[in-house]
């Protein structure tokens, strides 16, 4: 959320030689975020200075991106030859400028976010989900349209986008013995590297791997279909158990976790805490125990989680699962 501390405008940005601007959309939870590069130096310089001016005219961003799923922020990162001394580091993103979607509440911020989103290439060959991954086959046009609609105020709200379940029989209460641990976000939130390099799957399995874990990768599978069946099978391949497939005591601690999806686009996981509430980690952002409306999560199947509207089911972890 927006804080009250005034943002101090940066000193004049001095560019030494060529400069490109990387733009990353903080929008996904399970898969790496889409990222692209503005190669024209004059365009990158103008957009970066405009961003500094927009932030200079309003309150600074306190903490990380808003605690919700879906589109949260655009992150600007100057590449090669710029003087970063004039850039203020916001929202726990070291060396990067973070523009939260709340800027769209004012015309000047809405215009800036729209202009930046319009630089996003609409072919997957030019949009990468991570520097470490090959170009993704997801439709960049769909993601771009979703974010543009969100900025323009046309995206569905949580109330409009009702969560839906995969099948009623999947959503019964846990039938197997399992363990819970107290909600302790400090373990995950105190280190910027842990926050940045671990996602919802890491958190649900309670395993810090610094690999931004993907279902199936632990058993050697490559997952590129964001549907309940495929993601569930990938998790089983990693060693998780389905809700009615009890994990032996020798595999303790066994956590109860829940899988939801943004159909065709992304996945998200929750983990049951001691005391009956649930918590989760939104992609590269900190762990939280509230949903999109700021309410404690008593049931992942019923919480506010747009655009992850499809509930896939529950699983159990165990100490021998392979998460990578």
Provide CB contacts within 8 A for 165, sequence distance 6+: 171, 301, 310, 311
pLDDT reported for residue 163: 60
pLDDT digits (tens, 9 = 90+) for 251-282: 999 999 999 999 999 999 999 999 999 999 99
Q: How far apart are the C-alpha atoms of 18 and 100, rounded to whole Å? A: 27
pTM for this entry: 0.84
pLDDT reported for residue 62: 39
Q: Are 203 and 269 in contact (CB under 8 A)?
A: yes
pLDDT band at 315 (very low <50, low <70, confident <90, very high): very high
pLDDT digits (tens, 9 = 90+) for 94-134: 568 999 999 999 999 999 999 999 999 976 555 665 444 43
pLDDT reported for residue 243: 94
Q: Are 60 and 3 in contact (CB under 8 A)?
A: yes
Least confident of 2-16, 93-107, 200-214: 2-16
- What are the Cα distances from residue 96, in Å, to 13, 35, 47? 14, 13, 14
**Mean pLDDT, range 147-158, rounded to an integer:** 79
Residue 171 pLDDT > 70, yes or no? no
pLDDT reported for residue 9: 38
Residue 321 CB coordination number (10 Å): 22
Residue with tokens 């632990």: 218
Determine which helix (DSSP H) or strand (DSSP E) holds 77, and give its type and residue range: strand 73-79
**Mean pLDDT, range 177-193, rounded to an integer:** 97
């Amino acid at each position: 959320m927006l804080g009250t501390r005034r943002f101090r405008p940066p000193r004049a940005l001095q560019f030494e030689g060529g400069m490109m601007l990387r733009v990353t959309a903080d929008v996904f939870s399970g898969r790496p975020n889409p990222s692209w590069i503005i190669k024209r130096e004059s365009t990158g310089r103008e957009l970066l200075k405009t961003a500094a001016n927009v932030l200079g005219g309003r309150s600074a961003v306190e903490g990380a991106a808003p605690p919700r799923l879906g589109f949260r922020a655009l992150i600007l990162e100057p590449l090669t030859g710029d003087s970063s001394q004039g850039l203020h580091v916001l929202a726990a993103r070291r060396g990067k400028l973070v523009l939260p979607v709340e800027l769209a509440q004012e015309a000047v911020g809405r215009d800036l976010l729209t202009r930046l989103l319009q630089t996003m290439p609409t072919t997957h060959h030019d949009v990468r989900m991570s520097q470490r991954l090959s170009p993704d086959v997801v439709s960049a046009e769909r993601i771009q349209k979703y974010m543009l609609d969100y900025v323009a105020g046309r995206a569905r709200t949580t109330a409009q986008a009702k969560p839906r379940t995969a099948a009623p029989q999947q959503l019964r209460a846990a039938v197997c013995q399992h363990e819970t641990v107290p909600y302790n976000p400090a373990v995950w939130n105190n280190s910027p590297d842990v926050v940045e390099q671990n996602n919802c799957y890491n958190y649900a399995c309670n395993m810090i791997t610094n690999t931004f874990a993907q279902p199936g990768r632990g058993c050697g599978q490559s997952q590129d279909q964001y549907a309940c069946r495929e993601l569930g099978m990938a998790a089983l391949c990693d060693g998780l158990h389905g809700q009615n497939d009890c994990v032996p005591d020798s595999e303790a601690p066994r956590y109860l976790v829940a899988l939801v999806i943004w159909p065709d686009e992304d996945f998200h996981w929750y983990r049951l805490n001691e005391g009956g509430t649930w918590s989760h980690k939104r992609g590269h952002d900190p762990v939280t125990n509230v949903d999109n409306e700021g309410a404690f999560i008593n049931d992942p199947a019923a919480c506010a989680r747009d655009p992850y509207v499809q509930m896939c089911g529950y699983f159990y972890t165990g100490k021998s699962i392979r998460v990578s």
